[in-house]
């Protein structure tokens, strides 16, 4: 029952992320689609926020476990497999947007990153999208300056231990100084209403890649930002 419950929630997340990817290609806005489908009481608003994929200990582990149980008993769980595949791809959605904007070779570029943990309120980085995003950017020659309220020690000592070209800072604005863009990956409360004037001042270019659609209501384009979000 626990495996089924967590896989159901993971399915809602992957479904909404798939809808967001379709929205981007047809010119729709996933934020509006979310509001529309969530108004149906049979669906509701829980777990239908477009983003950079789910992580943590429970969802990835329980999805894999349920799929394995099925396979061990002669059943191929196609839907559950697809939930996992969509999520694996979604963890690179922000990195792919960066590559589309700046090109395949990111040598000489630096990105300021907000959020290392898989969700706010914890230092847990298990299967966090930040791990995959950072490694993809580094592979392409970029450098990353990272800030998280709780997960910096976890990153340094385990999940990104020994990884070169990642530096950690104690202030969210410090990581933006001379960076080519801001990347938001965890929806910590302190990131919800930042000082956009300060962000613009610190960045080399006023560019934000928002992996949690935190700023879709701030009309950032009117403030002179290039703003990339999920599903629009």
Catalytic residue ranges: 58
Q: How far apart are CA 64 and CA 62, in angstroms?
A: 5
What secondary structure letter does DSSP report for 227?
E
Paired with 227 in beta bridges are 208
Q: How far apart are CA 151 and CA 189, in angstroms?
A: 15
3-state secondary structure of 61: helix
108 — alpha (psi -120 to 50), left (phi > 0) or beta?
left
Give me the count of residues in the chain.
Answer: 232
| Main-chain phi, psi angles of 81, to 5 degrees | -60, -40
Are the beta carbons of 30 and 230 closer than 8 angstroms? yes
């Amino acid at each position: 029952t626990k495996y089924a419950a967590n896989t159901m929630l993971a399915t809602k997340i992957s479904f909404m992320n798939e809808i967001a990817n379709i929205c981007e290609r047809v010119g729709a806005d996933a934020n509006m689609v979310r509001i529309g489908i969530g108004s149906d009481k049979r669906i509701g608003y829980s777990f239908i926020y477009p983003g950079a994929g789910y992580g943590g200990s429970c969802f990835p582990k329980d999805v894999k476990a349920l799929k394995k149980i099925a396979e061990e008993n002669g059943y191929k769980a196609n839907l559950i497999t697809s939930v996992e595949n969509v999520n694996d791809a979604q963890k690179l959605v922000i990195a792919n947007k960066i590559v589309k904007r700046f090109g395949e070779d990111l040598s000489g570029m630096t990105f300021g990153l907000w959020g290392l943990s898989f969700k706010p309120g914890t230092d847990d980085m298990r299967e966090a999208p930040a791990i995959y995003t950072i490694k993809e950017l580094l592979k392409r020659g970029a450098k990353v300056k990272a800030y998280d309220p709780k997960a910096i020690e976890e990153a340094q000592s385990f999940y990104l231990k020994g990884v070169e070209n990642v530096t950690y800072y104690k202030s969210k604005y410090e990581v933006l100084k001379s960076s080519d863009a801001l990347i938001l990956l965890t929806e910590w409360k302190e990131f919800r209403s930042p000082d956009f004037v300060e962000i613009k001042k610190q960045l080399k270019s006023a560019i934000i890649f928002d992996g949690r659609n935190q700023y879709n209501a701030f009309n950032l384009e009117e403030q002179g930002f290039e703003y990339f979000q999920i599903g629009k």
